[in-house]
Structure 1
C-alpha cells in the first residue's frame, strides 16, 4: 500500500509539474503557428494556432471556449501591444490594442478561462489590462462558448499538444 501511494504521488508530481511549467504567456513579438499554443497554468484551457489556420481557445474536454473564426497562418503578439492574426502579410483579426500600453504588453491565458492582453513595468509594481474575453461562463464545457462568430473552427486536436516554447522564452 505504501509503495502504491508513493507511485501515485510521484505520478501526480510529474503530471502537475509538466502542466505548471507549460507557457501561459505570449510576449511581444512572439508568435503562434503550426499547432503552437499557450496553456493555462492549471492545464484546463489552451489557445492554439491550428495547422488549418484556425485560432481557437479550447477547454481540456475538447469544447471550444473562444474562436477568432478566421483562417490565417500566424498569430503575433506585436511589439506595439496589438494581438493580430495574419494570412501571410494580410491581417485578418486584431485585438485593436496597438499603442495603448505604457509598458510592454503580453497575451496571457488564465486558469478561469480568461484570455487577456496585459502590461506591466519590469518590477510588476505597475500593471494593467487592456483587452480580455472574461472568465469562462461555462467552465464545465457546457453552455455558451463565447465564440464571436458563427464560422466554425477547424477540427480540434485529439489531445492537448506539447507546449510551444519560443527561442526567446527562458525559464
Structure 2
C-alpha cells in the first residue's frame, strides 16, 4: 500500500491502491514533494530550481524534465498538467486541458519511469515518452510502454470452439481483448 502526502485544496493524506502511483485532479506537487512509482524505483519531483523532473532512484539518473522555472505543479480538473511560477503564471503545460471539469483525472508515475495523465476512464491522455530502457516491460500496460506477450484464448461455442492467441501487455488487457471468449486453450471436445 502506497501512502504519501500531497497538498490539495484541503491538504490531506491520500492512500492509493493501484498498479502505479497517482495523485488526483486538484492536487499539486510543491517544491521538494515527490510522487513515487508503486515499485519505488522512480519518482517525479518539483525541484527547488523550478524544474519538474523524473528520476530513477538507484542512481538518481534524470529521465525527463520540463526545464521550466515553476514554483509548483498542478494536475487540473480539465486534464492539464501545469507548472506555475510564484506569480501564478503558467510556465509549462502538458496541453491536455480543455476537457470537461472532472475530478477523476490523475497524474502518475509508472513502474518503468514513465510520467502520465489518466482520464476518467483510466485511459492515458498524455505521457512523457521517457521510459527507462533498463526497466522490465512485462506487467506494465501497453499504453504505458509495456511489452506484449501471447495469451491463449478459447473462442466460439461447442462444438465449434477453436484456440487462438491474443497479444496483450497484462492479464487485464488480455481479458478485455478476448471478451466474450475465455483465456486459456480450449478443452478437447
With structure 2 as the length reference, what TM-score do the two structures score?
A: 0.56
CA RMSD, Structure 1 to Structure 2 (Å)? 2.0
Aligned counterpart, 2:10: none
Give, in whole Å, the separation in 2 of the partners of 1:50 and 1:57: 10
Give, in whole Å, the separation in 2 of the partners of 1:85 and 1:48: 12
Deviation at 1:54, TM superposition (A): 1.6
Give the number of the structure with larger relative contact order, counting CA–CA contacts within 8 Å between residues 6 or more apart: 1
Aligned: 1:21 with 2:16: no
The SS at the match of 1:80 is coil
Aligned counterpart, 1:114: 114
Aligned 8 A contact 1:112 1:135 in 2: no
Deviation at 1:135, TM superposition (A): 5.8
Unaligned runs of 5+ in 2: 5-20, 136-189
Higher strand share: 2
Residues 1:137 and 1:21: Cα distance change in structure 2 (over 3 Å): closer
Q: What does residue range 125-136 of structure 1 map to in structure 2 within 5 Å?
A: 126-134=121-129, 136=131
Give, in whole Å, the separation in 1 of the partners of 2:117 and 2:89: 22
Give, in whole Å, the separation in 2 of the partners of 1:128 and 1:87: 29
Aligned 8 A contact 2:51 2:67 in 1: yes
Aligned 8 A contact 2:63 2:130 in 1: no
Aligned counterpart, 1:9: none
Higher helix share: 1
Give, in whole Å, the separation in 2 of the partners of 1:31 and 1:137: 25
Unaligned runs of 5+ in 1: 1-19, 121-125, 141-171
Aligned: 1:56 with 2:37: no
Q: What does residue range 74-93 of structure 1 map to in structure 2 within 5 Å?
A: 74-88=72-86, 89-93=88-92
Aligned 8 A contact 1:101 1:130 in 2: no
Size of the alignment, in residue pairs?
116
Aligned 8 A contact 1:22 1:41 in 2: no
Give, in whole Å, the separation in 1 of the partners of 2:123 and 2:131: 20
Deviation at 1:139, TM superposition (A): 2.9
Bigger CA radius of gyration = 2
Aligned counterpart, 1:150: none
Q: What does residue range 1-171 of structure 1 map to in structure 2 within 5 Å?
A: 20-23=1-4, 24-60=21-57, 61-88=59-86, 89-100=88-99, 103=102, 104-120=104-120, 126-134=121-129, 136-139=131-134
